[in-house]
Amino acid sequence: MSTNANSPIGVFDSGIGGLTVVRALMERLPYENIVYFGDTARVPYGVKSVETIAHFTTQIAQFLLEKDVKLLVIACNTMAAVAAQVVKDLSPVPVLDVIDA
């Protein structure tokens, strides 16, 4: 878990749609660093199984945690609906998602 105030916020989505979330964060938190992961290699997520979506979501969350993020933001409705709780359970940092936020 990052205790460094200078650590970035990690935002992820199944594609590029989450960039709207990044823009909103940048407008409200202009001095924060943000790391964005858009999984354009494996879109669309909507046709994939629940197990596959959960696996991909967990992979991405773990990747961002390795970047020492201080917060994870799931910017994808599909990922949030399927795997938000899984990510929250494994994450040592706070997790927000577009459904609960």
How much is the pLDDT for 101?
76
Taking the CA atoms of 18, 19, 25 and 27 in sequence, report the sign of the dihedral they define: negative
User: In this structure, are residues 26 and 37 in contact, taking their beta carbons and an 8 Å threshold?
Assistant: no
Read off the pLDDT of residues 33-81 as tens digits, 9 standing for 90 and up. 999 999 999 999 989 999 999 999 999 999 999 999 999 999 999 999 9
- Cα 80 → chain centroid: 9
The average pLDDT across 13-42 equals 98
In this predicted structure, the answer to whether residue 4 has a pLDDT above a threshold of 90 is no
For the segment(s) 9-97, the CATH number from 1.10.10.10, 3.40.50.1860, 4.10.490.10, 3.40.640.10 is 3.40.50.1860
Q: Whole-angstrom Cα distance, residue 43 to residue 93?
A: 26
How much is the pLDDT for 3?
65
Q: Whole-angstrom Cα distance, residue 52 to residue 38?
A: 16
**Could you state, in order of their start, the residue ranges of all structural domains in the chain?**
9-97
